[in-house]
Chains A and B, each alone.
Chain A
Amino acid sequence: KQEVTQIPAALSVPEGENLVLNCSFTDSAIYNLQWFRQDPGKGLTSLLLIQSSQREQTSGRLNASLDKSSGRSTLYIAASQPGDSATYLCAVIRNNNDMRFGAGTRLTVKP
């Protein structure tokens, strides 16, 4: 059974810091991995999708990497801002679109 773990569970940083969020999964037979952002009580906003044939994707200040062989993905946020405060979720996507989520990392960026 696929297990997805996100470390740390919570992170608090001062504004301007670069930071890394980690996601690990037990079954490397995945097709894609997707990172989401969730604001309190709100829906999931897709940030980045990494196809299985790719090793990383970038969007603005965000960079996500994927290493299938080691079962790991990282989300790098550069020059963090208070508006980045949210919970970040990773989801591994297996065959037939089955998605398994991690529990999330709750990020707080202090002004």
Chain B
Amino acid sequence: EAQVTQNPRYLITVTGKKLTVTCSQNMNHEYMSWYRQDPGLGLRQIYYSMNVEVTDKGDVPEGYKVSRKEKRNFPLILESPSPNQTSLYFCASSLPDRGRRGTEAFFGQGTRLTVV
């Protein structure tokens, strides 16, 4: 089954304790991205990756890191989480066509992170 898998689904942590949210897709997609969703602000892109070893900042990258060492995995790293990073996080993937136009995006089930 084609899917994007995030782990964990729920996480409560304390300020300053490093954490990683994993994201894996089994569709051989080149493009992967991370979003956070907050009430009243909608979905905002954190980071994206066009392919292995190619990553770039989205609209709200501060406080986050990513890596893309393999095509299928795109972990989101919070080196020193703070309460303002409490949010619902989504990973997404898609496969651009040869014209680099956007194709259908698939989303993970989300990770609800609470930083106290």
Which chain B residues numbered 45 to 100 have a C-beta less than 8 Å away from chain A?
A: 45, 48, 50, 88, 90, 92, 94, 96, 100
Q: Which of A36, A43, A49, A96 contacts B96 (CB 8 A)?
A: A96
Question: A42-B110, A43-B90, A89-B43 are known contacts. Are A52 and B48 too (CB-CB below 8 A)?
Answer: no
Residue among B42, B103, B104 making CB contact with A102, cutoff 8 Å: B42
Q: How far is the CA of A98 from the CA of B100 in the complex (A)?
A: 11
Given A43-B90, A99-B33, A103-B42, decide whether A94 and B102 contact each other with a Cβ distance below 8 A: yes
The count of chain A contact residues (Cβ–Cβ below 8 Å) is 25
Q: Is the CB of A97 within 8 A of B31?
A: yes
Shortest distance between the CB of B30 and any CB in chain A (Å): 9
Complex Cα distance, B42 from A91, in Å, reads: 11
Kindly list chain B residues whose C-beta atoms are within 8 Å of the C-beta of A52: 101
**Which residue of B31, B42, B50, B104 contacts A101 across the interface (Cβ within 8 Å)?**
B42
Interface 0/1 of A71-110, CB less than 8 Å to B: 0000000000000000001010111111101111000000
Complex Cα–Cα for A89 and B35 (A): 14
Distance of B113 from chain A, by nearest CB (Å): 13
Pair B105/A34 contact, Cβ less than 8 Å: yes
Which residues of B sit under 8 angstroms from A44, Cβ to Cβ?
90, 92, 107
Total number of residue pairs linking A and B with CB closer than 8 Å: 71
B104's contact among A34, A41, A89, A104, by CB below 8 Å, is which?
Answer: A34
Chain A residues within an 8 Å CB radius of B101: 31-32, 52, 93, 95
A32 to B40, CA, bound (A): 25
Q: Nearest chain-B residue to A93 (Cβ)? A: B102
Q: Which residue of B lies closest to A95 (CB)?
A: B100
Does A46 have its Cβ within 8 Å of any Cβ on chain B? yes
Give min CB distance, A87 to chain B, whole Å.
10
Q: Check if B96 sits within 8 Å of A97, measured CB to CB.
A: yes
Give B contacts to A, CB under 8 Å.
31, 33, 35, 40-43, 45, 48, 50, 88, 90, 92, 94, 96, 100-110, 112
Please list the 6 inter-chain residue pairs (A to B) with the smallest Cβ-Cβ separation, ordered nearest first.
A93-B102, A43-B109, A31-B101, A44-B107, A101-B43, A103-B42
